[in-house]
Copies of this chain bind each other. A is one copy, B any other.
Amino acid sequence: MITLTTDFGTRDSYVAEMKGMILQINPQATIVDISHHIDSQSVIHGAFVLGSTYHYFPRDTIHVAVVDPGVGTSRRAVLMVTPKGSFLAPDNGVLTYVLRGSPGYLTTSQDQPFLEPMEVAIPSGYSAYQLSNHALWKSPISDTFHGRDVFAPVAAHLSLGVAPEEVGEPLHSLVCLCIPNPRWQNNTLTGHIIHVDGFGNLITTIEGQTLAQNRVDVLLGGHRIQGVSRSYVEGADLLAIIGSHGNLEIAVRDGSAARELSANVGEEVVVELLPLG
C-alpha cells in the first residue's frame, strides 16, 4: 500500500502523473490519497497531516510526502524505514512528526525558534537512506518534479519488494522542524498553535492528557475561554476542546476560530490551571 501527501492540488496532472508512474511499475499497487491540498510549500502543514495519519495504516505501508519547495536544489531525497511504516520524502522537515513519534525522541531545546529546521539523529530501530540509485528512477528526471521522477518510482519498486538498502546510502541524521514542548511556569502552561484545520479549528501543541481533570482557563489573543467542552456544539461560541488528535483545540461553534480570532500557526496559547473548589 502506498499513500500520497502533496501540495499539488487536484486541478492539474501532477498527482495523476505520480499515480501513473507507480501503476506502470506496479499495476497491483493500492494507492491511498492522504491529502493533495497541503498549503503550497508549507512543510509544517504536510508534516502535521502525515504525522496525524500514518499510524492508522498497516505497518508495511509506504508513505510518500512531497511538499518540496527546494526541488532542484541540493536538498536530499530520503527513505526512512520505521516499525510503523516507510517514508519517502525530501529531507526538509516533512517527516518531523514521524521522528517525534519515535520512542526515544528527546525533548526539543526551548532555545530554538519555532519551526526552525535542525538535524536530528535517526532514532534507534529506524533506518534512513539518501535516494541515489538512479536505476530506480524515471530517466531522464526533470529539475522540478521529483515526486513523479524519483519518489513515485522508488515507492513502486519498494512495493514490489526492492530492499531499502538498494535505494541509496545510509544516513545518520534527518532534518526536523523545531516544535518546542509546551512549558510550565507556576500554574500556567504555554504552547503554540501548530495547525489550523479546514473548519478553522486551532490545534495546539498542548496534549489533552497534560490537563488531566484540572479546571482550566484557556487564553489566546486577548480572549479567555473558561473550561473545556466535550462537543463542538456545547458551551459558548468560542470554546476549548480536546480534539481528535488528543490535543487542545480552540474552536468556534458553527464558525471558524481562525477567521474570528485572526489566529495562525505559531501563535502562543496559554492554559491556566485553576485552584480546586
Contacts and interface: CB of A to CB of B under 8 A. Distances in A.
Contact of A16 (B13, B53, B231): B53
B71 A232 contact: yes
Contacts of A69: 232-233, 254
Interface in A7-34: 8-17, 19-21, 23-24, 27, 31-34
B11 A57 contact: no
Interface stretch (A143-151, A177-185, A218-226, A257-265): A143-151
Copies of this protein, total: 3
A152 to B, nearest CB: 9
Given A24-B57, A144-B244, A72 B231 contact: yes
A172 interface: no
A8 to B, nearest CB: 7
Given A16-B56, A21-B56, A31-B32, 13 more contacts: A9-B198, A16-B53, A23-B58, A27-B58, A41-B254, A69-B254, A72-B230, A142-B243, A142-B246, A144-B232, A144-B243, A144-B244, A145-B243
